[in-house]
Amino acid sequence: MSQHDIRSTGKHPRRECRVIAEYQKSNPDPIIMRKGDEVELTGKEDHWQGRPDWVYIWCTNQHGQSGWVPKPYIEQQGTKGTARFDYNATELTAHTGETLIAGQEESGWMWCANQHGQSGWVPIANIEC
């Protein structure tokens, strides 16, 4: 079972959520990394929605995919980093009124699946569980 599997694991119980605000995914080629993968770090950091506990760092994997990764997922060594966990930055387009099945929550985002079997991250501000 992958880290982002929607089935309930006890650690991340699945639940039904309703989309309360439209969300359009923004990255057509999201960064994907496996535990132990090396990544390049630019030093760029972002506090998602200004929250000091929701820190993302800009990373590029060995396949040239770049994107924001939650800081706890990376062991930093200067301009290099090592993935502490599997991570997939795929976002999910969500339409107002749509029902999603939600699993893991991370730094202001929720991993969700729609009725078409598509999965990805949706901002928690856009859903109501």
pTM: 0.87
Task: Using a pLDDT cut of 70, give the percent of the chain over it.
Answer: 90
Q: State the pLDDT at residue 12.
A: 59
State mean pLDDT over 13-23: 93
What pairs with residue 58 in β-bridges? 68
**Residue 121: enclosing H or E segment and its boundaries?**
strand 119-123
* Mean pLDDT computed over every residue of the chain: 91
Domains of the chain with CATH codes: 15-25+91-128 (2.30.30.40), 32-88 (no CATH)
Per-residue model confidence (pLDDT) at position 57: 97
**Residues 19-53: tens digit of each pLDDT:** 999 999 998 899 999 999 999 999 999 999 999 99
DSSP 1-57: --TT--S--SSS--EEEEE-S-B----SS--EE-TT-EEEEEEEEEEGGG-TT-EEE
